[in-house]
Amino acid sequence: MPTYPEMALDPTIFEVDPTIWCPNKPIPYSFLAHALSTLTTTRSRIAILNILTNTLRVILKTHPPSLLPSLYILSNTLSPPYESIELGLGYSTVTKAIQHVSGLSSAALKRLYTKTGDPGDVAFEAKSNVRTLIPHPPLLITSVYDSMLKIALAKGQGTAKQKQSIVEKLLVAAKGEEVRFLVRTLFQNLRVGAVRTSILTALARAMVMTLPSSISDTSAINLSHYADEALITAVKELNLTKSGGKKKKVEDAVDPSNILSEKFAAAEALIKRVYVQHPNYGHIARALVEMGLNDLAEHVPLTVGIPLHPTLGSPTRSLDEVYDRLENLAFSAEFKYDGQRAQIHGWKDSSEGPVSVKIFSRHLEDMTDKYPDVVQLVQNSFTADPELQSFIIDTEIVAIDPRNGELRTFQELSNRARKDVQMTEIKIAVCVFAFDLLYLDGQILLQEPFRKRRALLRTRLPPVIPEWKGAARLDHVRSVESEAGREAIEEFWQEAVESRVEGLMVKLLDSGEVLEEPSNKKGRPRRKPLPATYEPDKRTSAWLKLKKDYVTGLGDSLDLVPIGGWHGNGRKVQWWSPVLLALYDPSSGKLVAVCKCMSGFSDVFYKSMKEKYAEGSENCSYQNIWDVETGGLKPHVYFKPQEVWEIRGADVTISPVSVAALGLVSQSRGLSLRFPRFMKVREDKNIEQASIPDFLAGMYRGQQGKREKVEGVDDGDLLDATMESEAQESEADLSNSD
């Protein structure tokens, strides 16, 4: 194994040695493992970016074909998100393989797991005692990636064994740190403090400093993107002397480190912008390796049929906060429906040609197969408007009652089949609530203000209610504009609270300026631009999500008793996480588990919890000695019940594992909580004063009671007998005995 350099150096000081391997020889996986291992030694963002930048520079300089597999391994993916290639293995298969290769018992591995809280660390320790007799050729970055692909592509009977054997071969060949990161990669949880954003930042910096060795003809290259030798040397000298003496005052414009920073910033912005509009490392790596940073955005453009990262909203806790943040700028308040985010692409390659449709999820998975009814709807829109050539819309797909369009729950939408769905087999009807238009007839609209995008959406893609009741509908989200006055907005919010939507999305209509948050006390307040453009991948302040769940006194709040816990993973390895929580059932005097909870605890609270319920103390047992009912939830340890916590959730759900309130709503299923999180300790309550099953059942019924018609389409047609009976059946499934 070669001796690897110190990776955390400032990139101007780090020397890329092109002879570290034979020129153009594939790069050993041990190099990547070395880099990943170095990453885990620091939490400094600067150091992390240095390590990643230097790693990618070495790859660009010595073996550009290794760039793409390296990007996949670093980002814990195998393919672009919209091409679903999944490993299909997890704890069970990998643990079996580790067991087989290390020869350790399953109990010994469990002990290691409890101690380290990381499967990679378990494998590392397990294998550290194993002496391999036969020397193995070194693993290569490319060969590791190819093995992963092989695992992912295995299909059908007998594949579990096949996958396990590939994993075992990898583990046998892996040495030292390679074992740790190989296993973390197989678990798709690298935990090195760097995910997509850092990788893209480092890729940009690496490109600025290192022209890939694959670009031989530099005459066609615009070198202004890059830092030349002289600049790098100048910054290096500054960096080397900086620590010793005082930095000499230089004009900003000629300060070499400023010039380099600016080149970095420009390349980072470019690569990030390109990636979020066209999230495909393969296309980006190819363009970079062949043509460098030149015209990257033109080589890898936003493309109909390839998803872009959606804009996200910032959580907001009250209407007051909304007005505080947007001041007097015009906004639209929209219903936030409880369904599934969907980015829908529709296009014709020629005016007579067939219509192509793709439907992508919030995380850019291709779910076209799940919604043939929506595909049909889109195709009909093209038929209805022969002028239409292409579009990308942002929508929420919501389950509806096919008879009248009433909204149904998220849980009902979840019941839809996902693969190879045939039109004739659809059981859950949907409405597509469109709220944004990103692309129309070959024009990218991201830079247009929301008011304009929305106007185009409304005129070019009008609502559709097909004749057949089970067909997908198209509608626009219901909204009220700030121009209608605060009272109208309050009223609209009230309507949202009382109906089956999650709350409101408040969106800036025109680009403007707002007061910057007074982050440091002495800085005087400044105006900061707030664009109303579509910002892929950003949690923007121009979109505020106001969920009733966030607003104090509106969400569902329960007082529950902690009755057990699990050993935490990763950074929570020394604490109990998650914690099992229970209702108090006065009729039996027993505590009944409702849900697990891991959100809302501060580190300080975790520490005190671990002290109070210390392993081996009288408050903590491996057996269920306090006789609590946990249903399908089996914690590692049981707590002596003694306190009450306020727990908040967004909804009450019918649960396949919970036995809380069993028999009150359904004969066979209990109730649980969606998005549970810890609010505070109820010092004033003892465990007999915790919430009871009747209370939880009442909350569930309250939710079900909200059946007002809330969407905008009016529809008084006759009922379709078939769909009606099906709808009632599915409702019976959910809300009553089964």
Q: Which of residues 572-591 bind DNA (CB under 7 A)?
A: 572-573, 577-578
Q: How far apart are CA 202 and CA 206, in angstroms?
A: 6
Distance CA 9, CA 20 (A): 17
* Residues of span 159-218 touching DNA by CB under 7 A: 159-161, 188-198
Question: Can residue 547 be called a binding residue for DNA (CB under 7 A)?
Answer: yes
* Candidate segments 3-11, 286-294, 372-380, 594-602, binder of DNA by CB under 7 A: 594-602
> DSSP alpha helices (H): ranges in 63-134?
67-74, 91-102, 106-116, 119-128
Query: Is the CB of residue 277 less than 8 Å from the CB of residue 301?
Result: yes
Site for DNA in 481-520 (CB under 7 A): 517, 519
Pick the piece of the chain touching DNA (CB under 7 A) from 221-229, 297-305, 434-442, 596-604: 596-604
Near DNA by CB under 7 A: residue from 86, 228, 324, 385: 86
Residue linked to tokens 């009807």: 429
Nearer to DNA, 408 or 538 (CB): 538
Q: How does 363-402 read in b/e, with b if 16+ C-beta sit within 10 Å?
A: ebebbbebbbbbbbbbbbbbeeeeebbbbbbbbbbbbbbb
Pairing of strands 556-567, 539-547: unpaired
With binding defined as CB under 7 A, does residue 240 bind DNA? no
Helix (H, G, I), strand (E, B) or coil at 179: helix
Identified binder of DNA from the candidate list 45, 136, 458, 707, rule CB under 7 A: 45
Which window, 437-445, 473-481, 650-658, 703-711, contacts DNA (CB under 7 A)?
650-658
Sign of the Cα pseudo-torsion (270, 273, 278, 281, in order): positive
Near DNA by CB under 7 A, which window of 100-108, 203-211, 545-553, 639-647? 545-553
CB 478 within 8 A of CB 334: yes
- Candidates 279, 531, 568, 641: give the one binding DNA (CB under 7 A): 568
Q: Contact, 432 vs 475, CB < 8 A? A: yes
Does residue number 658 form part of the binding site for DNA (CB under 7 A)?
Answer: yes
Between 356 and 385, how does the x/- string for binding to DNA read (CB under 7 A)? -----xxx-x-x------------------
Shortest Cβ distance from residue 455 to DNA (Å)? 25
Report CA torsion sign: 299, 300, 304, 306. positive
Give strand pairing partners of 639.
620
DSSP code at position 19: T
CB 484 within 8 A of CB 494: no
Q: For residues 144 and 192, which CB has a smaller minimum distance to DNA in the complex?
A: 192
Q: Does 91 bind DNA (CB under 7 A)?
A: yes
Indicate which residue of 61, 163, 263, 336 is catalytic: 336
CA distance 670 to 656: 7
Comparison of 641 and 676: residue with beta carbon closer to DNA: 676
CB of 181 to DNA, least distance (A): 12
**Shortest gap between Cβ of 551 and DNA (angstroms)?**
11
Binding segment (CB under 7 A) for DNA, from list 88-96, 203-211, 242-250, 283-291 = 88-96
* Cβ count near 149 (within 10 Å): 16
- Site residues (CB under 7 A) for DNA, limited to 260-319: 312, 315
Tell which residue, 469, 499, 193, has the closest CA to residue 337: 499
Q: How many residues bind DNA (CB under 7 A)?
A: 95
CB of 89 to DNA, least distance (A): 5
Q: Which stretch binds DNA (CB under 7 A): 11-19, 221-229, 444-452, 655-663?
A: 655-663
Residues between 309 and 328 with contacts to DNA, criterion CB under 7 A: 312, 315
How far is CA 183 from its chain centroid?
21
Residue 236 annotated as catalytic: no
Residue 89 touching DNA (CB under 7 A): yes
Least CB distance to DNA at residue 545 (A): 7
Active site residues: 336
